[in-house]
Amino acid sequence: MKKREIKTDGEPSGLTHNPFAALRADGKPAASESKPAPTPSTAASSDGSSKIVVRREKKGRRGKTVTRVCGLGLANDKLTELQRELKRSLGCGASIEDEEIILQGELTERAAKWLRERLGQSVTVGN
């Protein structure tokens, strides 16, 4: 088997751009890039209170249905306390992912009703 010699002088023969040129030496993105805008489910409304959305999800969970409660806008300890109360009241499993409460099962209506009574805010029910 004959070895191929790679030319290193002159013009490059292959990639002509560097996909990592925008990265700084320390691995962080360049300062010219802006941060992405917050998603609508976690963005606060104009009056300062957050919009609570309760929706059903199935994608990416091996066919299991879960109920996601978004936009609570609470501190971590208050969110954990609310998650425990919800779990006890509805009789289901619950966890916290990305500042959102995940309830096991299709509990959109029950969770929305409980949140309306408990927090006194309007709750939007998604699919």
- CATH class of the domain comprising 52-125: alpha beta
Contact criterion met (CB below 8 Å) for 98 and 115:
no
Q: Where are the domains of the chain?
A: 52-125
The tens digit of pLDDT for each residue in 11-66 reads 656 666 776 767 766 666 555 555 555 444 434 443 445 688 999 988 888 888 99
> pTM score, two decimals?
0.58
CA distances from 72 to 45, 52, 68, 99 (A): 12, 6, 11, 8
- DSSP 8-state assignment for residue 23: B
- The radius of gyration computed from the CA coordinates of the chain, to the nearest angstrom, equals 24
